[in-house]
Amino acid sequence: MTGGQLPAGWTLEEIRDVSGDRDSMTLDTDRVVTWVGRPGEGERLHPEIILGFHGLCLVKPVNDEDWYMGSLNDDGGIDCWSAYGDLHEALRGL
């Protein structure tokens, strides 16, 4: 499901240029997002922004400056396993 918001100061075209993914899009934040960065521990993230990239996602949680990378599951949820300090770094990490 598309229709989410863009990060402040970014356009979709800029996100596509930096990521190299011409089909990237914003996604609806009404979904379960889990940080699974530590084995055996799962922490629910409350997304403010979600960007989608062919099965991968970047998630910016509410009240958090980091961006989390994860995979989009068949049920629409996202499991995140990596964190980045800023969006540009996260986009280059795709």
pLDDT tens column, 23-81: 999 999 999 999 997 766 779 999 999 999 999 999 999 999 999 999 999 999 999 99
Q: What type of residue sits at position 83?
A: A
Q: How many domains does the chain have?
A: 1
Residue 6 lies in a domain: no
Considering the entire predicted model, what is its pTM? Answer: 0.92
The C-alpha atoms of residue 3 and residue 8 are separated, in whole angstroms, by: 16
Question: What is the four-CA torsion angle of 81, 62, 78, 56, rounded to 10 degrees?
Answer: -70
Residue 1 has pLDDT above 70, yes or no: no
Does residue 7 sit within a domain? no
Asked, for residue 4, whether it belongs to a domain, the answer is no
The answer as to whether 82 is a domain residue is: yes
Q: Rounding to the nearest 10 degrees, give the CA dihedral for residues 58, 64, 65, 70.
A: -20
Helix (H) / strand (E) containing 15: helix 12-19
